[in-house]
Amino acid sequence: MIPTTSLLHLPFFLQTVFHLFLPLFLGAKLFTMALNASYDIEHSDSMQRIQHEPWPLDPVDPKKGKFPCCLVWNPLPVVSWLAPFIGHVGICREDGVVLDFAGSFLINVDNFAFGPVARYLQLDRRLCCFPPNLSAHTCKHGYRHSEFGTAITWDDGLQSSLRNFENKTHNLFTCNSHSFVANCLNRLSYGGSMSWNMVNVGALVLFKGHWVDFMSIVRCFCGWVALHTGATIPLTTLTGVVSIGYLPCQEPFRVLDGVLVPGSGKCCRITH
């Protein structure tokens, strides 16, 4: 039999054990919960960095025609002679390959229409919105952006716009190369904006773009200068220009009574 005195001390013993081990148990439990919470936060942060921190881009290389994540521009034959700020634009993938809407049902890939790039502007991918779901938009146009079409990467957005414009008819005033670039920027929600159009795309390149080299400036303004000064420009002065566009190949062109008069030679395309 258990002595009566032992039974009398049992509640006191259990109470002592309870008070001794309860803090240890609760402390271990709280410590485990804190570790789990810390892991969840760090894991979430690391996953967010993986999703939103793009890998480094290769440098811009005009000699190879590589302009990673850039808007690119070159002058249009004849049109740019009348208005040098008007030209043809494209947008580049992360590997630097140029995409441009060159005609009805035609998207050029790594074959920029009307010659090499004259101006470029590199864009910041961190200003794009790449939402994995509807609640993860970083722009303020969550529903509108999802309805228009979203992307998970820069190249994904360009590819989606490419598939869209492969079925469009080219129009000089309403559906042109600027429209294609604007569609890409809206799909990326670049700068938090869904209002990109032909006008602000052209203005962005015009005011913030960088010239590739001096000969690019010559390509852009030589025709305009000739038209406004009545000068005759020999073709020999343009021998350093590659893919300048459509120019008389045998004789110079000049302005006669305010009208651009080509030489007697046939017009042909100068290629590089």
Q: What pLDDT does residue 23 have?
A: 54
Residue 261: pLDDT band by 50, 70, 90 thresholds? very low
My answer on whether 70 and 198 are in the same domain is yes
Contacts of 90 (CB under 8 A, 6+ apart): 71, 72, 73, 98, 99, 100, 101, 108, 112, 113, 177, 180, 181
Residue 237: pLDDT band by 50, 70, 90 thresholds? very low
Query: What does the DSSP 8-state code read for residue 45?
Result: H
The rounded percent of the chain whose pLDDT value lies above 70 is: 63
My answer on whether 203 and 168 are in the same domain is yes
Closest CA to 116 of 219, 6, 260: 219
Stronger pLDDT, 112 or 50, i.e. the higher one = 112
Q: What pLDDT does residue 245 have?
A: 41
Alpha-carbon dihedral angle through residues 204, 206, 210, 215, given to the nearest 10 degrees: 150
My answer on whether 66 and 151 are in the same domain is yes
My answer on whether 186 and 101 are in the same domain is yes
Backbone angles phi, psi at 192, to 5 degrees: 75, 15
**pTM for the full model?**
0.67
* Stretch among 14-18, 141-145, 182-186 having the lowest mean pLDDT: 14-18
My answer on whether 73 and 120 are in the same domain is yes
- Give the whole-angstrom CA distance, residue 99 versus residue 68: 11
- Give the whole-angstrom CA distance, residue 235 versus residue 247: 8
pLDDT in tens, 61-107: 999 999 999 999 999 988 888 899 999 999 999 999 999 999 999 99
My answer on whether 93 and 152 are in the same domain is yes
Q: Quick one: the chain helix, strand, coil %, rounded to 5?
A: 45, 20, 35
* Residue 102 maps to a domain: yes
Q: What pLDDT does residue 16 have?
A: 59
My answer on whether 104 and 178 are in the same domain is yes
- Which of 211, 228, 253 is the endpoint of a domain? 211
My answer on whether 182 and 246 are in the same domain is no
pLDDT in tens, 156-183: 999 999 999 999 999 988 999 999 999 9
* Residue 160 maps to a domain: yes
My answer on whether 225 and 139 are in the same domain is no
What is the span of the domain harbouring residue 249? 214-270
* Residue 47 maps to a domain: no
* Residue 83 maps to a domain: yes
Average of pLDDT values for 40-55? 51
Average of pLDDT values for 187-196? 92
My answer on whether 219 and 190 are in the same domain is no
Average of pLDDT values for 43-50? 44
My answer on whether 241 and 122 are in the same domain is no
Please, is 86 exposed, middle or buried when counting C-beta atoms within 10 Å of its C-beta (0-12, 13-18, 19+)?
middle
Residue 180: other Cβ atoms inside 10 A: 27
My answer on whether 232 and 126 are in the same domain is no
* Residue 255 maps to a domain: yes
Q: State the sign of the Cα–Cα–Cα–Cα dihedral 170, 98, 182, 119.
A: negative
* Residue 201 maps to a domain: yes
Domain count, the chain: 2
* Inter-axis angle of helices 177-188 and 198-208, nearest 10: 90
Which two tokens mark 227? 């038209």
pLDDT in tens, 103-123: 999 999 999 999 999 999 999
- Which of 170, 190, 211 is the endpoint of a domain? 211
Residue 270: pLDDT band by 50, 70, 90 thresholds? very low
